[in-house]
Structure 1
Amino acid sequence: MFKLAHNGNILLNVAELNPPSAAFIVEALERSPYADCEINHESIKAHFTNDFPEQQLVVAKQHDATFTVEVSEDQMQAIGKLTCARGGKAISIEDAKKEIVKAGVSRGYKQVYLEQVLKKQLELEAGTETSGVVAQGRPPVDGQPAKLLQHVQTVKERLKQPKLREDGTVDMRDFGALSSVAPGTVLITQRPATPGKEGFTVVGDSLIPIPGESFQLVAGEGTQISPANPLELIATIAGCPSTIQNGMRVDDVFTIGEVNVRSGHVDFNGSVIVTHSVAPGMKVKAKGDITVMGSVESGELISGGNIEVKQAVIGHLDHKNNDEGLTCRLVAAGDIHLSHGQYTYLEANNVFIDRQSNHCDIKANQLIQVGIDEQPKGKLIGGEILDAQMVIAGVIGSDSGAKMCIYLARSGMKITQESDSCLKALSQTDDQLGTLQQAIEKADMLKDLDKKKQLMAKIGATQQHYCQQAEELEQQLSQLELNLHDLLERTKLTANQTLNPGVEIHIFDRVYKTQRSYPPCHASLQDGKIEIDFKTS
């Protein structure tokens, strides 16, 4: 009834069959071996409407399956696009592979991917279009940063583990024996940074990973890098270990019950633990850490490491000095951590106050935080923030609107001064180079060749010196500008609950005065002025 032509057309000899209707032809096709072919409805319809119909009627068309490959824009995938056959031939794996190669795919191909796509020829209806991944690139895996693996317990960690009494209660004054190490003890092992794993695109390009950040293992006092292993830090003296940035130190530790008139001031070349309190007027000075389990009242603590006070730090205005200054003073080269502060001068790298700061003068190289957890909600009331990069608290300022000054990024002023000095020196160097250029032009006019050669050599050496100096000054100036930019980018004040009126915020050389109460917000320097951004969560 139907015949397949060489060009893939399905023909019907209407003279022999004389079909009664188009529906008859379609139904006959659907029952024939050519049921999957594309029916030519227009040709069939025309047969019944033309006055002189043709004897051979094209009723359908046979189509082979098609397969094309497209590479994604990021070149990380090759997508095979399949159109299932309509009565024609299916795509073979060999032909499909040729298309993959033609698309430029050279890496990430897996035959199982291709088989999954081509398998759909047996599952889907004729003429259905489908697609699937036939090659997959691999993104680079960035390296892991270097990491310190600590092998000993530090004094600070020990103080977080008070002894358990027989009745099940905790003795907050007794922390057991001091954490001590012997000479030769391995304190820290550095796990080196890893280079990462290279990735690739499906077209064969390599994707280079970012290597993990590395750092130099730092040997503090009482320690050294192991002669046998440069990745190990060992103790050289007997004492108590304390962490420092990228390393550790070992200190002798002095423990005392209470610092008062009976004990006298404490000045120790190591770390100090006060198991009770520091009485008014008393001083504790330590090269290492200072830990006070009780409170400090109108005392002075000076530490070459960290200071931690478990309870309150309380002072008052210095009446002996016409209320100039505060009677309580804590200064640490590392961090200060206390529960509550009142009328106290605090200076450290970072200052952490668990609950509240009342009328304290605080200076930090980096962070001042009042409150605990991820969203600190402590109160920062009165006093003055002398310098910091970031201030985070729940409530900042007083409900009454009393004036409070907060100075952030003050170190930027020093950077600006250094930049000005650098520019001045660069200008002077340029003047010197100009003078030398004039000297070269004059020397070039000398007729005595030997004298001219000697003078040129001398001027050239001086010129080279000033050129090198100018290059160093330009690099220094560029670094200062980058340092200032980074400083101002990181500088921020955050109030997680309320920013009260009367707060005078200084960021670098800009000032913003709050006139009302603000809900949770951030203050930062944007486009040369201080902006208040309200927190959305």
Structure 2
Amino acid sequence: MEPDEQMEPCMEAEIDPAEAVGKGLGLTFSLDEESGVLFARVEPDPAAMPIDESWLNARLAEDGHARLRYVPMALTSLLAIYNSGQAVEALKIAERVDASLSIILSPDALQAMLTIVPAQGGRPVTKADVLAQLTEKGVTEGILLDDINRAIAAGQAQGVVIARGRAPVPGENGRLESLVAQVRSRVPRLTETGQVDFRDLGDIVTVRADQPLMVRRPAGRGVAGVDVLGRELPAPDGQEVAFAPALKGARTDPQNPDQLLAEIAGQPVEVAGGMTVEPVYVIPAVNMASGNVNFDGSVVVRGDVAAGMRIRATGDIEIGGTADPCHLEAGGNVVIKGGALGGLGRTELADCTIRCAGSFTSGYAQQARVEAGDSIFIDDMAMQCDLSAANHIRVGNRRRGHIIGGRVLAALSITGKVIGSPNRIATHVEVGVTPATSRRILELARERDAREKQLLDISKYLIFADRNPTKVDPNTVERACATASRLSAEVETLRDEENALNHLMELSGQATVCAENVLHEGVVVQLGANRFRPRGEMGPCVIGMLDGTLGPLPEPAPGA
């Protein structure tokens, strides 16, 4: 019998005098006060009646021995000896055990935890015992007296925290805070799953020269902590952030280096490491009378863009009306408030392409070829278009949301209310990373390697200059330091873009095609070498990879 399973007298048991006649004759118990051991003595008596476990428990409880720790099988042995009429001089059946305590420190020494094994007839743990062991372990800080008192009162505890240190608090990193409301960003803000609302980018916001654009908030200092042993725990300060060098159209304030000012009037655009200001060119319409537009900045067309015309802008292009088959190229976003008509299927307009490094937004698109470095948003309908986006394509918001015919390609997700048409118009929908993305990753790796090699060569020169200051020209060293700083920033930028594209490659395996209302027959969904063709009309569905097969994904559980 294990210690936890041994027979122990029941405190509530009582001996019935009528049943006790003849029972227990010749059986006595004696507790050695010095050792705390309980002995049983049996002197056989002819008049003795047999006893059982229940009677023995009641007798021990009546004599005040119920709380002792009993020797395994001792009571069973005692019953056998007594009932068989044998004699025993001193049978050890139980002993008095004092309570014990242990205090353990957490690996970081920020907590001290108390465990109390309760007494069994012996001396309980006292508050003085706990405090003495805390002192022995060197615990001096954050002692929780109320928790100690509660554990002592309970008589037992298991891992109760009785001392708690103060963890160090790292300082907040510095940050760049925009001072311009509704500033556009060239940094994609979409979720990886593509569950986003349609975005109306609105009008181009402009700033005047010398207007504050951004303020640099310095990093915070860390707050040191202390462990329960009284040792100070240093806290790191936050990382400082700096404005990127050579922000186009912006400069730091001569009176306040933590503030960024607009150098020219134009459109503010948030970029990594600060904000640039691009000039804005506003024109009523682009047609034969105005000629083609080639502008270093952003272009706003109040009206329409006529067929065959060209607009190139290093910033955004915003068109208030309709874009007939034309060629648009933007370093930022393209917004067409009306719709985009393309030249697919017309030989004379075959090169009419809309290409942007950011996102493309339009009311509708028909026979248009659009290539977006971020995402494509079309409110009403995309009919017989060739659409390609690095991240997401979404057709449909307040209006119909039909994708009919043509080819639609995005790396992460394609969403439409209705994909295909009842008369089975061929519609090719493809998700996954484009070959252009793979090529770009290789280009970035080559560019980064080249700059890192240059940086290594300059570093060797600077080490030589540091060791041999009399053998080098100080002006050359200064130029080398500036070059090294520029190369370091360029390497970091290339590495960030490379990491982002590699992350995109990983996410592309989870890309999906979502038909919020209907997916018609005639649609081909492709992810890599996998293809899915619906047989008949399908209701709301999401197509993606599951167990190595491209097909409809199960609906999420309610509340998931």
The answer on whether the counterparts of 1:150 and 1:187 sit within 8 Å (CA) in structure 2 is yes
Does 1:353 find its partner at 2:371?
no
Does 1:67 find its partner at 2:101?
yes
Does 1:343 find its partner at 2:367?
yes
Mean Cα displacement is larger for which, 92-101 or 348-357?
92-101
Does 1:514 find its partner at 2:539?
no
Q: Distance in 1 between matches of 2:273 and 2:503?
A: 22
The answer on whether the counterparts of 2:42 and 2:82 sit within 8 Å (CA) in structure 1 is no
Deviation by residue 1:114-165 (Cα, 9 ceiling, x = unmatched)? 44433311xxxxxx775534566888878766543111235659xxxxxxxx
Q: Distance in 2 between matches of 1:243 and 1:218?
A: 14
| Residue of structure 1 equivalent to 2:513 | 495
Relative to 1, partners in 2 of residues 1:185 and 1:300: Cα closer, same or farther, differing over 3 Å?
Answer: same
Relative to 1, partners in 2 of residues 1:73 and 1:150: Cα closer, same or farther, differing over 3 Å?
Answer: closer
Superposition deviation, residue 288 in structure 1: 2.8
Which of 244, 249, 252 lines up with 1:222 in the alignment?
A: 249
The answer on whether the counterparts of 1:412 and 1:487 sit within 8 Å (CA) in structure 2 is no
Does 1:270 find its partner at 2:293?
no
Does 1:312 find its partner at 2:339?
yes
Which of 415, 433, 447 lines up with 1:393 in the alignment?
A: 415
The answer on whether the counterparts of 1:143 and 1:194 sit within 8 Å (CA) in structure 2 is yes
Superposition deviation, residue 306 in structure 1: 2.0
Amino acid at match of 1:494: T
Amino acid at match of 1:132: V
| Residue of structure 2 equivalent to 1:91 | 125
Q: Distance in 1 between matches of 2:405 and 2:237?
A: 46
The answer on whether the counterparts of 2:171 and 2:220 sit within 8 Å (CA) in structure 1 is yes
Superposition deviation, residue 255 in structure 1: 3.6
The answer on whether the counterparts of 1:217 and 1:247 sit within 8 Å (CA) in structure 2 is yes
Superposition deviation, residue 88 in structure 1: 0.5
The aligned length equals: 446
Which of 306, 313, 316 lines up with 1:289 in the alignment?
A: 316
Q: Distance in 1 between matches of 2:413 and 2:66?
A: 77
Which of 63, 67, 74 lines up with 1:36 in the alignment?
A: 67
The 5 Å alignment of 1:469-508 reads 486=503, 488-492=505-509, 493-497=511-515, 498=519, 503=524, 505=526, 507=528
Mean Cα displacement is larger for which, 225-234 or 496-505?
496-505
Q: CA RMSD in A?
A: 5.2
Deviation by residue 1:409-461 (Cα, 9 ceiling, x = unmatched)? 31355369779999xx9xxxxxxxxxxxxxxxxxxxxxxxxxxxxxxxxxxxx
Matched residue of 2:120: which SS?
A: coil
The answer on whether the counterparts of 1:154 and 1:240 sit within 8 Å (CA) in structure 2 is no
Relative to 1, partners in 2 of residues 1:131 and 1:155: Cα closer, same or farther, differing over 3 Å?
Answer: closer
Amino acid at match of 2:330: S
Superposition deviation, residue 195 in structure 1: 8.5
Q: Distance in 2 between matches of 1:208 and 1:303?
A: 46
| Residue of structure 2 equivalent to 1:241 | 268
Relative to 1, partners in 2 of residues 1:198 and 1:513: Cα closer, same or farther, differing over 3 Å?
Answer: farther
| Residue of structure 2 equivalent to 1:369 | 393
Relative to 1, partners in 2 of residues 1:354 and 1:262: Cα closer, same or farther, differing over 3 Å?
Answer: same
Q: Distance in 1 between matches of 2:400 and 2:272?
A: 28
Matched residue of 1:350: which SS?
A: coil
What TM-score comes out, normalization by structure 2 length? 0.61
Superposition deviation, residue 257 in structure 1: 4.4
Which of 54, 64, 85 lines up with 1:51 in the alignment?
A: 85
Relative to 1, partners in 2 of residues 1:234 and 1:391: Cα closer, same or farther, differing over 3 Å?
Answer: same
Superposition deviation, residue 398 in structure 1: 3.0
Superposition deviation, residue 87 in structure 1: 1.5
Does 1:9 find its partner at 2:37?
yes
| Residue of structure 2 equivalent to 1:465 | none
The answer on whether the counterparts of 2:103 and 2:112 sit within 8 Å (CA) in structure 1 is yes
Which of 414, 435, 442 lines up with 2:439 in the alignment?
A: 414
| Residue of structure 2 equivalent to 1:437 | none
Relative to 1, partners in 2 of residues 1:394 and 1:317: Cα closer, same or farther, differing over 3 Å?
Answer: closer
Superposition deviation, residue 343 in structure 1: 1.3
| Residue of structure 1 equivalent to 2:553 | 534
The answer on whether the counterparts of 1:409 and 1:488 sit within 8 Å (CA) in structure 2 is no
The answer on whether the counterparts of 1:275 and 1:294 sit within 8 Å (CA) in structure 2 is yes
Deviation by residue 1:194-244 (Cα, 9 ceiling, x = unmatched)? 697899999999899997796754653220133454443211223442333
Q: Distance in 2 between matches of 1:142 and 1:36?
A: 52
Does 1:82 find its partner at 2:103?
no
Matched residue of 2:215: which SS?
A: strand
Matched residue of 2:152: which SS?
A: helix
| Residue of structure 2 equivalent to 1:153 | 181
The answer on whether the counterparts of 2:341 and 2:366 sit within 8 Å (CA) in structure 1 is yes
The answer on whether the counterparts of 1:185 and 1:234 sit within 8 Å (CA) in structure 2 is yes
Q: Distance in 2 between matches of 1:421 and 1:187?
A: 35
Amino acid at match of 1:409: T
Superposition deviation, residue 357 in structure 1: 2.5
| Residue of structure 2 equivalent to 1:383 | 406
| Residue of structure 2 equivalent to 1:470 | none
Deviation by residue 1:64-95 (Cα, 9 ceiling, x = unmatched)? 11234567899987654322112201123454
| Residue of structure 1 equivalent to 2:11 | none
Amino acid at match of 2:61: E
Mean Cα displacement is larger for which, 395-404 or 296-305?
395-404
Amino acid at match of 2:412: M
| Residue of structure 2 equivalent to 1:184 | 210
Q: Distance in 1 between matches of 2:145 and 2:520?
A: 63
The answer on whether the counterparts of 1:196 and 1:210 sit within 8 Å (CA) in structure 2 is yes
The answer on whether the counterparts of 1:409 and 1:487 sit within 8 Å (CA) in structure 2 is no
The answer on whether the counterparts of 2:174 and 2:217 sit within 8 Å (CA) in structure 1 is yes
Relative to 1, partners in 2 of residues 1:189 and 1:120: Cα closer, same or farther, differing over 3 Å?
Answer: same
Amino acid at match of 1:184: D
The answer on whether the counterparts of 1:397 and 1:503 sit within 8 Å (CA) in structure 2 is no
Amino acid at match of 2:406: G
Q: Distance in 2 between matches of 1:54 and 1:255?
A: 114
